[in-house]
Amino acid sequence: MPLEETLHRIEVKLERIEAEINKMRHQLLERSTTMDEKKLISLPDHLRKTAIGLVKVGQGTASDVCRHTSRARAVESSYLNQLEREGYVKSFRKGRQKVFHLDAHLKDELSAKQQNTK
């Protein structure tokens, strides 16, 4: 009997710990989503336009993005690099070119925002 009681107490404690972990996980997810939305809303118009251009392209160079924004390639390059420094955009090298793509979560946010403005 004492062994069964001990096992039952351990099980109850484990259930409490699991509930607490799930609660903390949920709080962290809410906090990170809210922070991303706040960052997106706080983007200046010129950077938001670049990010939306990148959404349209999917992934591409500054030259690809400038075709959608009607701005100079050098301007888009500067804005894309700024977005990368701030963590909104990722990039990789393809030969001499730098190819940019959006973080998946931000891409979903921008796509939703773009559809809401239509």
Residue that the structure tokens 């069964």 belong to: 4
**pLDDT averaged over the chain?**
82
- The model scores a pTM over 0.85: no
Closest by CA to 101, choosing from 74, 44, 61, is 61
Q: What is the pLDDT of residues 51-101, one digit of tens each?
A: 888 888 888 999 999 999 999 999 999 999 999 998 888 899 999 999 998
81: helix, strand or coil: helix
Q: How many residues can be counted in the chain?
A: 118
**Is residue 35 packed enough to be buried (19+ CB in 10 Å), middle (13-18) or exposed (0-12)?**
exposed
